[in-house]
Amino acid sequence: MANTYIPIATVTVGAGGAADITFSSIPATYTDLVLLLSIRTNRAGAVGDNLSLSYNGSTSSQSDIRLFADGSSPASFTDTALYAGIATAADATASTFGNTVVYIPNYASSNNKSSSSDGVAENNATQTSMNLGAELWSNSSAITSIKISSRFSATLQQHSTATLYGIKNS
């Protein structure tokens, strides 16, 4: 990574899985944040699983627009939640993980918080899924915590990893 990317924390899910990954006590010393995700869930009957975001424990005042494609039926949708890309789910090829990057500019400002996400869930069989998203949290509070979880309440599987970077304007 460029020398302006400062690793804040990395979380790797251990044996037995986890309901979510949470970063707390995020310092307000950076201009932007970048979240790198490599996640697999146990969501049955699916190749992919949407990942939800929440800031500071809030699930209100959220909106999202997303472009989605799985190789056969591209679509778009809007929602009143924040989605952080896509994870690989239980029906995908074993030992593969979905990868997503989320960019959060001006996270410590007193303005509403926007973000963009780009993710893909790999499957070596018949399908792969990709998501491009734009998210908005209409709240003037600085982001001090970020929670990542499955939209479908699936368990994040062992070896799933999330790394949070702070970006310094230098």
Residues 61-113: tens digit of each pLDDT: 999 998 888 777 788 989 999 988 899 999 888 999 999 999 999 999 999 99
SS3 content of the chain, % helix, strand, coil (to 5): 0, 55, 45
pTM attached to this predicted model: 0.93
Task: Average the pLDDT over 108-120 and give the result.
Answer: 95
Taking a C-beta distance cutoff of 8 angstroms, is the pair 51, 100 a contact? yes
pLDDT of 47 strictly over 90: no
Closest by CA position to 39, among listed 7, 104, 105, 83: 83
In one-letter notation, the amino acid at residue 38 is S
Q: What is the pLDDT of residues 12-39, one digit of tens each?
A: 999 999 999 999 999 999 999 999 999 9
Burial 9-22 (b: 16+ CB within 10 A, else e): eebebeeebbebbe
* More confident call, 69 vs 160: 160
What is the pLDDT, as a whole number, of residue 42? 97
What is the pLDDT, as a whole number, of residue 12? 98
Residues 6+ apart with CB under 8 A from 132: 66, 67, 116, 117, 118
State how far the Cα of 89 lies from the Cα of 116, in Å rounded to an integer. 22
Domain spans in the chain, listed from the N-terminal domain onward:
5-167
CATH of segment(s) 5-167: 2.60.120
